[in-house]
């Protein structure tokens, strides 16, 4: 009763009439094919049907009853093949599926099929989802294909069991520098991910330390192989983050120079060894020359030299190198105004566009800084035209309340995916670029930094499960709306009760904005305590080498990033976007302080002065947080008590913490400016 099963809870259906309709089909499953994924699909059907309908389906290999569900890939059995029209067949792509109701004179059945067995598994999960949401599936004819090829999770898990930026307990993979024995939990996790279409998972932190460096040795590969087998059952490949200095640290070489023949050979042999354990191994994720991690710079080589060398080693096996663009100088001088951290990723990688091999993917964080509550989209999207790219977002709520505050992130990611870069004229959105369809890339997709740990409910705050679910749904289909995803999640997790659906959806949909309003204003970011990044500290990163500043003085705040008079960052965008940001009148208000330096008395479009806007949003944010709690209280008795109490407790904590944010921020600006709140509300001085 604590939320362990997440959206696969499969509670008993409420609607008796529908239940009877469903039962007719669900009592018989006709299974074609015997691959592990087909077997898994049938196993999942049984679990779902037993739980939701209270019947145990018969599994057969030829239809006996007039009504049934049949599962199998196309081209294997006439019953399935006949059910699929020629045009339908053309519409089903790799990993996609068709769910179709066929009625003949004497039969009425549901077909779930795809061109590969993974598609069938995805189709089954969708069918179960439809049943749980009590959708009418009579006459259903549904074809879906995944939008992105790579739908990945990045775990920042360390082998000692800790998780970098983890807010839900310890790793579910490792403990005491060993793989855990709790494979049941790993399997349950694989189910959750498979059910939303995730197909790749990096199983260790991008910061690769001593033990994780050894993941690619025979000390750990046998255990990694077992993990890979569990994930494979749900269509998910595993990847490792690797240490660029591995040839030295575990290979006994005296260099890790990517152009050195010994080093190249070492990585080629290493790749061969890994694939001998894990034949479908996905590849390497690499954080190099960033935040003190080793990389090619040591040898006067560039990122392309480093990435291509690894890519050559993986290529014979079909693997890829995912090379991160999170590269900047974390030792910079705050006195130097023009060195702007926001410019770093573009400055580092744009000149290398076209130099990467075709199995290298550059992974770019959504914004130019680092997962702040509000950032513009990284100009590398649309800037790079001859390179495969992945978008990296952070599901784990590092800067967005650490799973103590409610912050539903789907609306944020949608803004990123729908952002128009104008790289090839109007309509060149990030999602199209990342998909690979604008520049014809071989690979591309999205990676989300995972938000799970070994807490009973996986995500710390139970409602934060919606971010994992929503992430999967969005990378499957970025055209789903935030509302649709919220509604699905609530129905699958809690119930179809309208009040519950409306209330919880509303809470989720407002939450990002609420969090934003009581934390750092108008895109400025970073007003957090250094290192752990929780709680307000306005000057925490000011005068600091990490390069994240707000530059507040008694008259103005914000960073002028224009070409005209500032750091020149806006010059990294295509003309239409640059012009929009460059001009204070067309710059979207929520990013005003990111792009411009503005006096506190400046009048915003709403008519409020900047200082008054800061006060208003911070008072209002707390009020809104209080409303979240009241909304939750209004559905008491309609969600399981244990979850109810747990969420209530977190929401209460959120309110207290929102007050702290409000008071620190408001007081800071009151002291800086000496301008009071027009409405005379309490500001500490
Ligand atoms: C930052 C995190 C840090 C990560 C880094 C990264 O604070 O823990 O190592 O990103 O993405 O957001 O490499």
Q: What is the mean pLDDT of residues 441-445?
A: 97
Q: How far is the CA of 326 from the centre of ligand 1 (A)?
A: 9
Contacts of 332-337 with CB under 8 Å at 24 or more apart are 332/545, 332/546, 332/547, 333/545, 334/542, 334/543, 334/544, 334/545, 334/547, 334/549, 337/567
Catalytic choice (370, 392, 455, 582): 370
Residue 335 pLDDT greater than 90, yes or no: no
What is the C-alpha separation between 278 and 239, in angstroms, rounded?
10
ipTM for this model:
0.98
Place of tokens 């995944």: 146
Residue 1 pLDDT greater than 80, yes or no: no
Residue 28 pLDDT greater than 90, yes or no: yes
User: Per-residue b/e over 377-394, b at no fewer than 16 CB within 10 Å?
Assistant: bbbbbbbbbebbbbbbbb
What is the C-alpha separation between 303 and 321, in angstroms, rounded?
12
Residue 685 pLDDT greater than 90, yes or no: no
- At 548, the pLDDT band (50, 70, 90 cuts) reads confident
Q: How far is the CA of 569 from the centre of ligand 1 (A)?
A: 22
pLDDT at res. 651: 98
Q: What is the mean pLDDT of residues 26-49?
A: 97
What is the C-alpha separation between 184 and 218, in angstroms, rounded?
24
Give whole-number Cα distances, 446 to 145, 268, 353, 408, 489, in Å: 16, 27, 19, 18, 20
Question: Is residue 365 lining ligand 1, measured as CB closer than 6 Å?
Answer: no
Question: Is residue 151 lining ligand 1, measured as CB closer than 6 Å?
Answer: no
Q: What is the mean pLDDT of residues 123-151?
A: 97
Place of tokens 């209270």: 54
What is the C-alpha separation between 382 and 420, in angstroms, rounded?
9
Q: What are phi and psi of 31, to 5 degrees?
A: -105, 125
pLDDT at res. 298: 95
Burial group, residue 663, by CB count within 10 angstroms (0-12, 13-18, 19+): middle
Question: Is residue 287 lining ligand 1, measured as CB closer than 6 Å?
Answer: yes
Residue 262 pLDDT greater than 90, yes or no: yes
Atom of ligand 1 nearest to the CA of 399: 12
Atom of ligand 1 nearest to the CA of 392: 11
Q: What is the mean pLDDT of residues 197-218?
A: 97
What is the C-alpha separation between 8 and 44, in angstroms, rounded?
10
Q: What is the mean pLDDT of residues 629-651?
A: 98
Q: What is the mean pLDDT of residues 146-151?
A: 98
Burial group, residue 504, by CB count within 10 angstroms (0-12, 13-18, 19+): buried
261 in catalytic set: no
Helix residue ranges, H only, 555-634: 575-582, 592-595, 610-633
pLDDT at res. 305: 98
Q: How far is the CA of 162 from the centre of ligand 1 (A)?
A: 15
181 in catalytic set: no
Q: pTM score, two decimals?
A: 0.98
Residue 210 pLDDT greater than 90, yes or no: yes
Q: How far is the CA of 398 from the centre of ligand 1 (A)?
A: 9
Nearest CA to ligand 1 atom 12: 370
Atom of ligand 1 nearest to the CA of 287: 13
Q: How far is the CA of 298 from the centre of ligand 1 (A)?
A: 21
Rg (CA), the chain: 26
Burial group, residue 64, by CB count within 10 angstroms (0-12, 13-18, 19+): exposed
Per residue in 91-101, pLDDT (tens digit) is 999 999 999 99
pLDDT at res. 547: 83
pLDDT at res. 353: 98
Q: How far is the CA of 117 from the centre of ligand 1 (A)?
A: 36
- At 646, the pLDDT band (50, 70, 90 cuts) reads very high
What is the C-alpha separation between 8 and 447, in angstroms, rounded?
22
Residue 330 pLDDT greater than 90, yes or no: no
Atom of ligand 1 nearest to the CA of 206: 13
pLDDT at res. 337: 80
Per residue in 353-389, pLDDT (tens digit) is 999 999 999 999 999 999 999 999 999 999 999 999 9
Burial group, residue 12, by CB count within 10 angstroms (0-12, 13-18, 19+): exposed
Question: Is residue 164 lining ligand 1, measured as CB closer than 6 Å?
Answer: yes
Q: How far is the CA of 36 from the centre of ligand 1 (A)?
A: 37
Question: Is residue 293 lining ligand 1, measured as CB closer than 6 Å?
Answer: no
What is the C-alpha separation between 187 and 47, in angstroms, rounded?
14
Q: What is the mean pLDDT of residues 657-684?
A: 97
Residue 413 pLDDT greater than 80, yes or no: yes
- At 468, the pLDDT band (50, 70, 90 cuts) reads very high
Residues facing residue 323 across a β-bridge: 286, 362
Q: Which residues contact 92 (CB under 8 A, 6 or more apart)?
A: 74, 84, 98, 113, 114, 115, 119, 143, 145
Per residue in 555-595, pLDDT (tens digit) is 999 999 999 999 999 999 999 999 999 999 999 999 999 99
Burial group, residue 91, by CB count within 10 angstroms (0-12, 13-18, 19+): middle
Place of tokens 């000692």: 160
Residue 285 pLDDT greater than 80, yes or no: yes
Average pLDDT across the chain, whole number? 97
Catalytic choice (398, 488, 516, 560): 398
Atom of ligand 1 nearest to the CA of 370: 12
The percentage of the chain sitting over the pLDDT mark of 70, rounded to a whole number, equals: 100
Q: What is the mean pLDDT of residues 108-128?
A: 98
- At 336, the pLDDT band (50, 70, 90 cuts) reads confident
656 in catalytic set: no
Coil, helix or strand at residue 448:
strand
pLDDT at res. 95: 97
Q: What is the mean pLDDT of residues 467-496?
A: 98
pLDDT at res. 332: 87
Question: Is residue 663 lining ligand 1, measured as CB closer than 6 Å?
Answer: no
């Amino acid at each position: 009763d604590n939320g362990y099963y997440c959206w696969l809870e499969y509670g008993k259906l409420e609607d008796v009439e529908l239940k009877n309709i469903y039962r007719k089909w669900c009592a018989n499953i006709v299974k074609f094919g015997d691959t592990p994924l087909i077997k898994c699909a049938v196993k999942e059907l049984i679990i779902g049907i037993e739980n939701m309908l209270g019947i145990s389906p018969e599994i057969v290999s030829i239809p006996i009853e007039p009504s049934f569900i049949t599962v199998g890939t196309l081209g294997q059995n006439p019953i399935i093949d006949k059910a699929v029209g020629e045009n339908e067949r053309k519409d089903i792509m790799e990993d996609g599926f068709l769910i179709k109701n066929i009625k003949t004179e004497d039969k009425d059945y549901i077909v779930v099929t795809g061109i590969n067995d993974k598609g069938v598994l995805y189709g089954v999960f969708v069918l179960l989802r439809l049943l749980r949401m009590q959708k009418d599936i009579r006459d259903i004819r549904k074809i879906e294909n995944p939008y992105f090829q790579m739908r990945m999770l990045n775990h920042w898990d360390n082998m000692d069991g800790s998780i970098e930026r983890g807010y839900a307990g310890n790793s579910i993979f490792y403990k005491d520098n060993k793989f855990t024995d709790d494979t049941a939990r790993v399997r349950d996790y694989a189910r959750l991910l498979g059910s939303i279409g995730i197909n790749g998972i990096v199983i260790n932190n991008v910061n690769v330390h001593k033990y994780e460096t050894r993941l690619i040795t025979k000390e750990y590969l046998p255990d990694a192989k077992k993990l890979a087998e569990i994930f494979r059952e749900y269509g998910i490949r595993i990847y490792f983050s690797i240490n660029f200095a591995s040839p030295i640290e575990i290979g006994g070489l005296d260099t890790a120079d990517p152009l050195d023949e010994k080093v190249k050979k070492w990585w080629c042999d290493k790749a061969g060894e890994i694939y001998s354990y894990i034949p479908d191994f996905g590849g390497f994720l690499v954080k190099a020359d960033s935040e003190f991690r080793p990389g090619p710079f040591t040898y006067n080589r560039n990122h392309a030299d480093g990435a291509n060398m690894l890519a050559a080693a993986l290529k014979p096996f079909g693997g890829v190198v995912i090379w991160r663009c999170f590269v900047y100088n974390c030792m910079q001088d705050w006195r130097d105004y023009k060195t702007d951290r926001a410019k770093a990723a573009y400055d580092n990688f744009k000149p290398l566009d076209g130099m990467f091999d075709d199995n290298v993917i550059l992974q770019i964080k959504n914004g130019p800084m680092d997962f702040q509550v509000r950032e513009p989209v990284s100009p590398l999207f649309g800037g790079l035209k001859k390179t495969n790219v992945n978008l990296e977002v952070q599901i784990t709520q590092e800067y967005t309340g650490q799973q103590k505050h409610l912050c539903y992130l789907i609306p944020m990611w949608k803004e990123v995916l729908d952002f128009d870069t104008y790289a090839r004229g109007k309509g060149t959105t990030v999602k199209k670029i990342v998909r690979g369809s604008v520049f014809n890339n071989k690979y591309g997709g999205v990676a989300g930094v995972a938000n799970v740990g070994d807490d009973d409910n996986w995500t710390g705050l139970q409602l934060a499960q919606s971010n994992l679910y929503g992430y999967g749904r969005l990378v499957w289909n970025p055209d789903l709306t935030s509302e649709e995803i919220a509604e699905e999640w609530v129905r699958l997790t809690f119930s179809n009760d309208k009040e519950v659906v409306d209330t919880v959806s509303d809470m989720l949909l407002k939450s990002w904005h609420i969090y934003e309003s009581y934390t750092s204003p108008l895109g400025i970011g970073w007003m957090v305590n250094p290192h752990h990044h929780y709680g307000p500290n306005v000057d925490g990163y000011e005068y600091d080498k990490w390069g994240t500043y707000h530059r507040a003085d008694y008259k103005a705040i914000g960073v002028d990033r224009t070409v005209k008079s500032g750091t020149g960052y806006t010059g990294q965008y295509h003309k239409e976007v640059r012009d929009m940001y460059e001009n204070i009148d067309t710059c979207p208000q929520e990013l005003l302080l990111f792009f411009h330096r503005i006096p506190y008395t400046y009048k915003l479009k709403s008519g409020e002065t900047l200082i008054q806007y800061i006060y208003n949003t911070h008072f209002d944010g707390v009020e809104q947080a209080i409303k979240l709690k009241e909304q939750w209280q209004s559905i008491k008795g309609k969600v399981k008590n244990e979850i109810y109490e747990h969420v209530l407790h977190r929401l209460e904590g959120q309110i207290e913490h929102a007050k702290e944010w409000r008071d620190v921020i408001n007081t800071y600006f009151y002291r800086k400016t000496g301008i009071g709140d027009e409405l005379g509300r309490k500001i500490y001085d």
